[in-house]
Amino acid sequence: MAAATEQLLLPQEQPRRRPPVWGLTVAALLLVLLLAATGPLRPRLFRAPPPAERVALTLLSGAKEKGAVCVDGTPPGYHLQRGSGDGADRWLVHLEGGGWCSTVKECSDSRLSTKGSSNFMKPIRFMGNGILGGDQLQNPDFYNWNKVYVRYCDGASFSGDAEAQAQDGTTLYFRGLRIYEAVIDELMEKGLTNATQALFTGCSAGALSMMLHCDDFRARFPQEVSVKCFADAGFFLDEKDISGKRSLWSLYGRVIHLQNVRKVLPKDCLANKEPTECFFPAELIKSIRTPMFILNPSYDSWQIRNVLVPDSSAPDKSWLSCKENIRNCNSTQVEVLDGLRNKMVNDLKVVEDKEDWGMFIDSCFTHCQSLSGVSWHSPTSPRLENKTIAEAVGDWHSGRSQGAKEIDCKYQCNPTCNSLPPPRDVTAFDHVEIY
């Protein structure tokens, strides 16, 4: 699997023109009155989210002296947006995702993108929607928090500590663990140490990173501080592909060996299992003590495309069509996809015994859902027990509800999933938008 790339640079959102009130027909006025009574999301039907300013990239100070550098040796970076009001002392720290590089060539190639070099990183927008957004209607629990988006440029989920030589003779730096530690240390100096609440989050490979470091992040705060973790689309499965091979197991094995990932793996797991197995979330969550919320589609489009039906499995045309859009899958193929879902549900059984944990496992064909306003909190968001993802996460985080563990039924049973557009291929995470 090639190194992943992700950009959050967004097009300007065009303002919507409103027709003059006197030009509305009686029927249109009745429709407006009807929509106005549809609940707390009603203002979203009448206006676009407020425009968001670009958030500058902050390069880690003293990165080279700390050995905390991207694959090409450039300093890593993050984007910090300060909170306000009652959110001024609350922090959300998000680790960016973007796959893994598992060979010298893949990691060498990553130097030509944000996934291996900060030379390509630019300012981003935390738009009005999603968990990083600043619109109270769209993001009611976290809209005014301090928010940090930590860029991913090591290729091993912020967990490696090694070096290698590229074919051209230059040094490749695998310093993800040092990057994580140095960035968090710097954020502590910038106010994170005074947080009254902290939420540690991540998406995809960033969610796996967050799981690996969740307890360490918690340990940096006094016990009276509320610290929780939130994993979005990071529950990767050790599942055989359609050709019978364990492709993700092989990938993880190469990453662990190349980048020396063993240091961050749970010691109790390593005492009984191979390091590769301990890199999978099914094992990680057994050791994590900090309260965590797991958000994942049970028909994860990335895992279907790259774990269940990777290109290496030589899929035929029907499988190629199926993995692009689950609506193209025939009944036999859906049964195979159900096997992936069943594996996830079974691996998550351990969460049932963790009283302060939460889950939102919908049956949608998608990947990361917390960074998109459409899936996070909108009139067309996926729902379980009539709650959007934002409502479920917010209720869990604030303690407004108990037993926030929801697992959806099988594919096509949840009509709210149908409102999501089919996801594009995110194997490269090109131009993922926070919108």
Residues marked active site are found at 204, 300, 367
Report the DSSP pairing between strands 124-125 and 226-232: unpaired
User: In 201-316, where does DSSP find H-type helix?
Assistant: 205-219, 247-259, 267-270, 275-278, 281-287, 301-303
User: CA geometry: angle at 365 spanning 276 and 427, to 5°?
Assistant: 50
What is the C-alpha to C-alpha distance for residues 289 and 410, in angstroms, rounded to an integer? Answer: 30
Report the DSSP pairing between strands 90-95 and 162-165: unpaired
Nearest to 305 by CA among 294, 286, 320: 320
Please check whether residue 311 is in contact with residue 251, taking contact to mean a CB–CB distance below 8 angstroms: no
Please check whether residue 238 is in contact with residue 221, taking contact to mean a CB–CB distance below 8 angstroms: no
| Cα dihedral 214, 217, 219, 225 sign | negative
| 3-state SS, residue 43 | helix
What is the C-alpha to C-alpha distance for residues 339 and 344, in angstroms, rounded to an integer? Answer: 9
Please check whether residue 229 is in contact with residue 253, taking contact to mean a CB–CB distance below 8 angstroms: no
Please check whether residue 435 is in contact with residue 373, taking contact to mean a CB–CB distance below 8 angstroms: yes
Please check whether residue 39 is in contact with residue 156, taking contact to mean a CB–CB distance below 8 angstroms: no
User: In 260-388, where does DSSP find H-type helix?
Assistant: 267-270, 275-278, 281-287, 301-303, 317-324, 331-347, 373-376
Task: Please name every residue paired with 127 in a beta bridge, in sequence order, or none if there are none.
Answer: none
What is the C-alpha to C-alpha distance for residues 131 and 270, in angstroms, rounded to an integer? Answer: 34
| 3-state SS, residue 45 | helix
